[in-house]
Amino acid sequence: MTFDHIALNVQDIARSVEWYVAATGARVLYQDETWAMLEAGGGKIALTLPQQHPPHVAFDIGPTPSEEFLKKARVHRDGSISRYVVDPDGNAIEWIHYPQKGSTT
């Protein structure tokens, strides 16, 4: 398992992308009107709208997800498969899998 990204809720995706690019030199990996993925400082930051995703920390579970994971997960529009869990303090954690990275799913 490896760290994948942190997601921050923002009110305006385009405005926040502009700010992160200017303030941190971030590179835009993906952007639309509902979310963006940036690469900055050696990591990734997802900018999300509050009504679509909770703020969270995401971990890539690797190339071979369990059947239990797949039963409880959902497919995103970018092809990734994930599910959210909550830690003991109520923080959202996303377990994410990228089939396009050469897995068996």
pLDDT band at 102 (very low <50, low <70, confident <90, very high): low
Which of these, 57, 58, 27, 56, lies nearest to 40 by C-alpha position? 27
pLDDT at 100 (0 to 100)? 78
pLDDT band at 62 (very low <50, low <70, confident <90, very high): very high
Buried b (16+ CB within 10 A) or exposed e, 74-96: eeeeeebbbbbeeeeeeeeebbb
pLDDT at 76 (0 to 100)? 86
CB 94, CB 58: distance < 8 Å: yes
Position with higher pLDDT, 19 vs 103: 19
CA distance 34 to 50: 10
pLDDT at 77 (0 to 100)? 81
pLDDT at 104 (0 to 100)? 45
Whether the predicted pLDDT of 105 surpasses 70: no
Which sign, positive or negative, has the C-alpha torsion 64, 98, 103, 74? positive
Q: What is the domain class of 2-101 according to CATH?
A: alpha beta
pLDDT at 103 (0 to 100)? 47
pLDDT at 47 (0 to 100)? 98
